Amino acid sequence: MTTVALLSNDALLLEQLQAAFAAHAPHLRVVLADDPAAAQAQVAACWYPQAGSLDRLPRLRLIHSVAAGVDHLSTDSSGPDVPVCRVVDPDHRRGMTEYVRWAVLHYHRDFDRVTAQQRENLWLRHPQRFAGKFKVGVMGLGSLGSAIAADLVAAGYSVRGWSRSPRHLKGVTCHHGDAEFSQFLNGLDLLVNLLPLTAATRGILNHHTFAKLAHGAAIVNCGRGQHVIIDDLQIALANGQLRGAVLDVFEHEPLPSDHPLWQMPGVVVTPHMASAASHDCIALQIAENTRRLLSGEALNNLVNRSLGY
Residues tagged active-site: 224, 272
SS3 content of the chain, % helix, strand, coil (to 5): 35, 20, 45
Nearer to ligand NAP, 7 or 144 (CB): 144
Cα–Cα dist 85/194, whole Å: 18
- In the complex, the smallest distance separating the C-beta of residue 95 from ligand NAP, rounded to whole angstroms, is 8
CB 44 within 8 A of CB 7: yes
Instruction: Kindly state the smallest distance separating residue 91's Cβ from ligand NAP, in Å.
Output: 12
What residue ranges in 12-102 does DSSP mark as E strands? 29-32, 43-47, 62-65, 84-85
Under the rule (CB under 6 A), what is the footprint of ligand NAP? 68-69, 140-145, 162-165, 167, 194-198, 200-201, 222-224, 248-249, 272, 274-276, 309
CA distance 57 to 37: 10
Q: How far is the CB of 282 from ligand NAP (least distance, A)?
A: 12
42 versus 102: smaller Cβ distance to ligand NAP: 102
Say if CB 162 and CB 176 are below 8 A apart. Answer: yes
Closest CA to 185 of 239, 193, 227: 193
Beta carbon of residue 246, minimum distance to ligand NAP (angstroms, whole number)? 11
> Given the complex with ligand NAP, which of 116 and 268 has the nearer CB atom?
268
Q: Which of 30, 29, 71 is nearest to 49 (CA)?
A: 71
Q: Report yes or no: 16 and 22 within 8 Å, Cβ to Cβ.
A: no
Q: What's the per-residue H, E or C state across 128-190? A: CCCHHHCEEEEECCCHHHHHHHHHHHHCCCEEEEEECCCCCCCCEEEEECHHHHHHHHCCCCE
Least Å distance between CB 34 and ligand NAP? 28
Are 40 and 20 within 8 A, CB to CB? no
Task: Output 11 or 179, the one with its CB closest to ligand NAP.
Answer: 179
Cα separation, 35 vs 46, whole angstroms: 15
Q: Which residue is nearest to ligand NAP (CB)?
A: 142
By beta-carbon proximity to ligand NAP, the closer residue of 30 and 274 is: 274
In angstroms, what is the minimal distance from the CB of 176 to ligand NAP? Answer: 6
SS3 call for 19? helix
122 vs 115: CA distance, rounded Å: 10
Which is nearer to ligand NAP, 172 or 197 (by Cβ)? Answer: 197
41 vs 255, beta carbon nearer ligand NAP: 255
Residues facing 136 on adjacent strands:
159, 190
